[in-house]
A and B are shown apart, each in its own frame.
Chain A
Amino acid sequence: MATTTLTPAASAYRTGLYEWLTTTDHKKIGILYIVNSFIFFFIGGLFALGVRTELAQPGLQFVHDELLYNQLFTMHGTVMIFLFIIPMLVGFGNYVAPLQIGAPDMAFPRINALSFWMLPLAGILLLMGFLTGGAAQAGWTSYSPLAQDRPLASTGPGEDLWIMALLLIGTSSILGGINFLVTIFKMRAPGMTMFRMPILVWTVLVTSVLVVMATPVLTSALIMLFIDRNYGGHFFDPGGPNGGGGSAILWQNVFWFYSHPAVYIMVLPAMGMISEILPVFSRKPLFGYKAFVFATAGIGALGFSVWAHHMFTTGQVFLPFFSLMTFLIAVPTGVKMFNWIFTLFRGKLTFSTPLLFALGFLSMFLIGGINGAFSAAVPVDFALQDTYWVVAHLHYVLFGGSVFGVMAGLYYWFPKMTGRMLNETLGKVQFVLMFVGFNLTFFPMHQLGLAGMPRRIADYASDAGWNDLNLAATIGGFTIAASTLPLIWNVFSSLRAGKPAGDDPWEANTLEWATSSPPPPYNFDHLPEIRSERPLFDLRHGRTVVH
């Protein structure tokens, strides 16, 4: 359909590695984000395997240095959140959102490249902690005073490197957020009104608002913590041997003021992705498009008023307010769940791998939402906070939700990005392994938490009754690791010899499928008329024409 318009002169001196290092094309930057994020997914996964191996049985068998154990789970959380999930979703947004609104590129292509290249640098800084006497070990939440520079807390440069890495990532996020906002507001194709935008674009828009409003709070707090550690700032240091005057609770307030909206930053675009996939594989429009948009905006707004539900047990929180807001955020989330289900309802479902992962998202995110209601009931949270229940909850949201969404998106958009289909059999093998492994790992953690096992411990008493469930979780962890092997094999073999995709292998609805696979630089030679949120559906059924 569309043809490449690059002149030979333009491509002659920008080839290969040099092109990838200097590109400002949103599609190539999107792929860079995705590849970089997958690399950190494997690194963070190795850290998790270290933790799970140690916990398989009571006693210290694998990680004999308990400081290293604390570094492993700290780095697992930090890498997975800041270098995998968030940038992965930014990568999909970067690749897909400009295409979906019919734009030739992001609004600020060079800032887009800058945003990306900060991430590998931040990742290197973060991991360098292991070479400088120990990486950060205060948990990914880095609570003060444990994050302060003092004996038995966080001496050494590992924590400072953690701060600097997160500062870079935060800056990258803010630049990316502004870039998305300007792109979505100013660069939509003619006819692409706000309420004709694909849901993924809406979720990227709301996410970008969250990023721009919340991330500066985190970066400020990081600078204050750096001053505390290196220049005697006493912002978050209430005392200790050398006096203090700061507040340990203040860190938690500012940290969670960012990090709770960050949960939505990590899940809204994944919701957007499955909201693209479910209609296509049901051959129906998304049920309740406008309600879905308002629910997304509602989650974004409410997301700013629930941060202290991470702090119910501190004794320093106005409990009823945060409890009420936390319960209320279930309502727009429930609206989305029903919209998705009724998109399937009376559809004609094709069970390709993207739909399987999207259905996995629905089922697992449902559990992650429901077990969140337990923690919203403050007294129940008194029992569950900081136990393995919380580990189960957050993984059902961030793995069962976001990671399954990412996998669905990868199988869905890989043909557009590369021009080749991923192998369906390998995809289904991966789905089954990942789904079984995920539940075997994280479901028992509910029961461990109820039985009283705290988070972040390297060992537990052999008579506590936690042995079997921990062993199950460890077996599940290795099953998840095994599930990535068919994925890796699939990507490499399909890049070489996958089935050619064509422009629109899925009979999809949105504009990215109206151009070639992969699209040419600046994306479109022609655009179909945009008269609804499904311009390609309209075109396919003769309601509109290509100009």
Chain B
Amino acid sequence: MSTAPRSRPSSLAIVGWLVAAAIGIVLAAWVVLHAGTIWNSFFPPEAKSVEGQEIRNLYDIVFIFAVVIFAVVEGLIIWSVIRYHRKPGDDDLPPQTHGNNLAEITWTLIPTVIVLFLFVVSWQTLNSVEAVSPDPGLKVRAVAGQFQWSFDYLPADADGNTKALFTVTAPVGPDGGLVLPAGEVTHLYLKSPDVIHAFYVPQFLFKRDVVPGLINQFDLDIPASDAGQTYRGQCAELCGVGHRIMLFEVHAVSPADFKTWMDKQIAAANATPPPAPSGAAAGPSIPLVAQNVKFDQTTLTAPASGFTIHYDNRDNGTPHDFVVLDNGGAKVYGSPTITGPKVADFPVPPIPAGTYKFECSIHPTLMFGTLTVQ
């Protein structure tokens, strides 16, 4: 066996380099083909509020500095690594440089100037984002409870604790969500009855915690041109087992549409409530107890001709409801929400025989069961 020169790479190493090169080429091709998508993924979504646009401008400034600093420093690292190999058998010491005061002062001062600049521009944006209009067009209180959002619309002279004109209890869907007039400033109050939540709409580039025991507030200004748009929002602070289901929608509508909608909601809230259904509702009464965020039964059986749920919410201060879903997840019946301790009768109209799921829509991950209709 001849002794190959030590410097010739082994066939294993050649295969390794070839594989690495192939992976590199595939990756490079993929990056080129998706360049636009990849570039956009380094930025937040297009901002849909005036405050969000200012935050986006600030993000772009910080991003430019970040990319330049990364390129310079990473470039220095890579260059040093490529340039300064120790060759085999080279036992000489390189120059034993212990430091250089001028260089060290330079790389202390330049970053100081950069971070002070970034601080000042971000402070300016902060003051603008945090500014509160003395005369907002609308005041809304978003209430975040485990695990559902509701939106209290407040009178013009309200503070965070004023009684609502009316409340939107469904956080999503065409009849629910946070409906806001585009082109007007909305002042939002945030209130939590239980744990900390956070109001977060990615397209506003903004979030604010909803802290029990205090009321946070901020202004939200959606440009008039965005009327008709819907934005998704979501709780951003871990609030328990149902954290991920705390979704909501923001509907931006034109001021005229908003006025029509608001008048209709106020009229509905002021209308004399229909007489409470008497105890003589059709069908038998089925008792169901909600306690410690659990139902006492996970299987119910009821006649197809209609029945009444005798609902006993024993959880002090916690809202529950009773919802029936079919196999496809569509809502067949939904009761009003009651906050414990309270007992109520929910008359359920006749529904076709079959197997359904029942749940508390506020705590669907914890309170659910099977309803068999015969």
Asked whether A153 lies within 8 Å of B195 as measured between CB atoms, the reply is yes
Binary B-proximity of A287-301 (CB < 8 A = 1, otherwise 0): 111110000000000
Q: How far is the CB of A195 from chain B (nearest CB, A)?
A: 12
A-chain residues with CB within 8 Å of residue B74 when the two chains form the complex = 363, 366
> Could you tell me if A380 and B241 are in contact, using CB atoms closer than 8 angstroms?
no
Binds A, one of B62-70, B162-170, B325-333, B345-353: B62-70
- Interface residue B17 (Cβ < 8 Å from any Cβ of A): no
Q: Within the complex, which residue of A137, A283, A324, A374 is in contact with B62, where a contact is CB–CB below 8 Å?
A: A374
Closest to A335 in B: B108
Does B304 belong to the interface (CB within 8 Å)? Answer: no
B206 contacts which chain A residues (CB < 8 A)? 382-383
Chain B residues in 8 Å Cβ range of A314: 209, 211, 216
Indicate which residue in B77, B194, B196, B216 contacts A143 across the interface (CB closer than 8 Å). B196
Instruction: Judge if A424 is at the interface, Cβ distance under 8 Å.
Output: no
Q: Given A287-B97, A451-B45, do A387 and B236 touch, yes or no (CB 8 Å)? A: yes
- Annotate A362-378 by CB proximity to B: 1 below 8 A, 0 otherwise: 11001100110110111
**Is A452's beta carbon under 8 Å from chain B?**
yes
Q: Are A287 and B118 in contact (CB under 8 A)?
A: no
Q: B275 in the interface, Cβ–Cβ < 8 Å?
A: no
Nearest residue, chain A, Cβ from B38: A447
For residue B263, give the distance in angstroms from its CB to the closest CB of chain A. Answer: 32
- Tell me whether A62 is interfacial, beta carbon within 8 Å: no
CA distance A452 to B205 in the complex (A): 9
Query: Is the pair A385, B207 in contact by a Cβ cutoff of 8 Å?
Result: yes
- Chain A residues within 8 Å of B125, by CB: 377, 379
Residues of A within 8 A of B107 (CB): 334-335, 338
Q: Mark A321-333, 1 if CB is under 8 A from B, else 0.
A: 0011001101100
CA distance A452 to B202 in the complex (A): 5
A373-B43 contact in complex given A320-B123, A459-B244, C-beta closer than 8 Å: no
Would B119 and A240 count as touching, CB distance under 8 A? no
Report the contact-size class of chain A (Cβ under 8 Å from the partner).
Answer: 35 or more
List the B side residues contacting A334 at CB < 8 Å. 107-108, 111
In the assembled complex, the Cα of A460 lies from the Cα of B234 at a distance in Å of: 11
**In the complex, A447 Cα to B45 Cα: how many Å?**
11
Separation in Å of the B128 CB from the closest CB of chain A? 8
Given A283-B86, A451-B41; A327-B118 close (CB under 8 Å):
yes
The answer to whether B77 and A331 touch across the interface, beta carbons within 8 angstroms, is no
Q: Which residues of chain A are within 8 angstroms of B196 by Cβ–Cβ distance?
A: 143, 145-146, 248
- Is the beta-carbon distance between A348 and B198 smaller than 8 angstroms? no
Other-chain residue from A70, A331, A379, A450 in contact with B43 (beta carbon distance below 8 A): A450
Residues of chain B with a CB closer than 8 A to A373's CB? 62, 65-66, 115, 118
Q: A240-B317, A248-B211 are in contact. List 11 more A-B contacts (CB 8 A).
A: A145-B212, A152-B240, A313-B207, A323-B122, A338-B103, A338-B104, A342-B97, A348-B86, A378-B122, A379-B58, A450-B43
What are the 7 A-B residue pairs with the smallest beta carbon separation, nearest first? A238-B213, A452-B202, A348-B86, A377-B122, A457-B244, A383-B205, A327-B115
27 contacts between A and B (CB under 8 A): A145-B196, A152-B293, A152-B363, A282-B84, A282-B94, A283-B93, A284-B94, A291-B99, A313-B209, A314-B211, A315-B209, A315-B217, A330-B111, A335-B111, A338-B104, A346-B97, A349-B81, A363-B74, A370-B66, A370-B70, A373-B62, A377-B118, A380-B55, A380-B122, A383-B52, A383-B55, A456-B243
